[in-house]
Amino acid sequence: MPSPIEGKSRYMPGIDGLRALAVLAVIAYHLHPGWAPGGLLGVGIFFVLSGYLITDLLIAEWRREGRLNLASFWLRRFRRLLPAMLVLLSAVAAWIWLVDRSRLAALQGDFLAALAYVSNWWLVYREVSYFESFGPPSPLGHFWSLAVEEQFYLLWPLLLALGLRLQLRRGWLTGAMLLGAAASAAAMALLYEPGTDPSRIYYGTDTRAFGLLIGAALAVVWPSGKLSAGTSVRVRRIVDLAGTAGLLAILLMIVRSSQYGAFLYQGGFVLLSLAAAVTVAALAYPSGQLRRLLGCRPLRWLGVRSYGIYLWHYPIIVLSSPAAGSDGISLARAALQLTATIGLAALSWKFIEEPIRRGGMKAWGAQLLGWYRKRLPQQGMRWVVSALLILFFCVSCLGESPQPPAATNALAEGAAPTSAQAPQPDQGNETGTMTEASGPKTDEAAEGVAETSPPVAPEAAPEEEAGSGITAIGDSVLLGTAAQLEKQLPGIVIDGKVGRQLAHAQEVADRLRSKGKLGSRIIIELGTNGAFSKKQLESLLHSLADAEQIVLVNTRVPRPWEGTVNDMLKEASGRFANTTLVDWHAASAGKASFFAADGVHLNADGAEYYASLLAKAVQPYLTKL
């Protein structure tokens, strides 16, 4: 197990155990959100830990030396973090170069932002959603949290040095930190809009700083170097009880929280940070029982390597997972991904992080050279291996990479967008694409096809078009089926827009009603781009209470919010008398051939099948005409 480089620092094994739990929660969330829907809270635990440990170290240095050597501090931080990150970035770039070279151009900004530790603001600037991205995700998407921490490492020592130089009392210093934390938490709560994408406040340094500042405030009132093991049994029990309560609160939130609920953004993240701070306080206590539990050897081993595990886990998951649209999750694949993550992190710790942390780059280079000579004692053998490695790299660079298949539909017709074209929530007042079909139906459903053949749409009465009085409101999936819907339901009014969310449906319905285009039968296809609140859905359905029929279409979207959306639509369809549910998720199971590469948007066959399901859903009402 490692020991601190600073001679007067105290190693706290329980802290490494908490690190292990945090990183495992994040991995579980990225492997399959159903396992730990609140696993993203592991990042919040890391923020509290970083705030505590860095502030504790700086204050201890101030007490020993009477000053802060900021140049030395920043050098140690870069030496600890940068080498492993550079190796990871090089490995990811090499993999993409060999496997899918066409993606390198699109990812160039991600690489540069990662190197500059501004990934979070780069994602905000590009409006890349943490929760609602389509197409192949960036293997560097997790660098946003590393950017937040590095920005803290750069700015916080300056602010802390100013406070210490002004000789502020401990109470005033703590109060200033908690005031800053309160301002950050208030910014998150005020900027959050239920039903819209929360990525801006999720990524922002300003709206996530409260976790770091809460940890920093704990370091002022609970410095690890001044905690004594020789206290009464009663005090130890109180500390352990508080720490256990904090740990249980963390685990409960990881298991029960949802990234789509307002709770997290309106106080939940703050509650998580406070629970983490209480747990950290107990783990920093020298003689507590909780520190022994979390300081057990397996957790400690993982915690020591948690930085490398966090670095490697997301690229491995993203680059080794199949194309979106496959049903379920492979436990074998998940186990292999976890094994590869931990194995590469262990190698990173042994050969990169620990040697450089202790001896610097020069000593690390000498150590690698010595290892190379020891494993390959003959000089000729070393030359052969080196030449083979260079030859392999050159051949790889000259080789052609496979090109991704072309999309089967244009983006305007609901095709799978690339990662740079990911649908996002609507901006401004731009209206959706609206079409009104007319004329007789020209295509009949195919006959004699296996179970994938679409159900036969009902025939309309000759004196009236089948789609007359029907309005469909949706997103890019609906746009992709517009032509087929117009054929099967001539006269239907279709209003679809790429990136639309259910939060915008009320405005669309009101606009259509004012123009006399809102029919008595309304199809609502929304939920592809993210979850919504129960209140929003109920408010929309209540506003359409006078409609003869409302058809809710659930979603197949290989993203964490799929189950949340579908459960909410199912529950609502059972409570509103004029509401019917089209179970697209069940109807499309096992029909991967209907989908584009993103597993969401449809090709021609899929669009025809989808349109037929919607036409069949309005059949009971058509027969009344």
Return all residues near 8 (Cβ < 8 A) that are at least 6 apart: 60, 64, 225
Structure tokens of 125?
A: 């600037």
Q: What is the full DSSP assignment across 496-509?
A: E-TT--GGGHHHHH
- Alpha-carbon span 132 to 113, nearest angstrom: 21
Sort strands 493-496 and 521-525 into parallel, antiparallel or unpaired: unpaired
Q: How far are the Cα atoms of 93, 336, 361, 558 from residue 323, in angstroms, in the given order?
A: 20, 17, 40, 10
Say which residue the tokens 């949706």 belong to: 474
Q: How many residues does the chain have?
A: 625
Pick the catalytic residue: 142, 598, 605, 612? Answer: 598
Return all residues near 460 (Cβ < 8 A) that are at least 6 apart: 441, 466, 467, 490, 622, 625
Pick the catalytic residue: 50, 601, 605, 612? Answer: 601
Strand-pair partners of 595 = 602
- Alpha-carbon span 304 to 571, nearest angstrom: 45
Strand-pair partners of 618 = none
Q: Single out the residue of 54, 45, 44, 53 nearest to residue 74, CA to CA.
A: 54
- Alpha-carbon span 270 to 264, nearest angstrom: 8
SS3 label, residue 582: strand
Pick the catalytic residue: 476, 573, 588, 612? Answer: 476
Structure tokens of 376?
A: 């390959």
Q: Single out the residue of 599, 598, 570, 584 nearest to residue 454, CA to CA.
A: 584
- Alpha-carbon span 206 to 203, nearest angstrom: 9
- 601 in catalytic set: yes
Q: Single out the residue of 522, 503, 502 nearest to residue 512, CA to CA.
A: 522
- Alpha-carbon span 586 to 257, nearest angstrom: 26
Residue 404's CB is within 10 A of a number of other CB atoms, namely 14
Say which residue the tokens 């050897």 belong to: 297
> Which positions are catalytic?
476, 598, 601
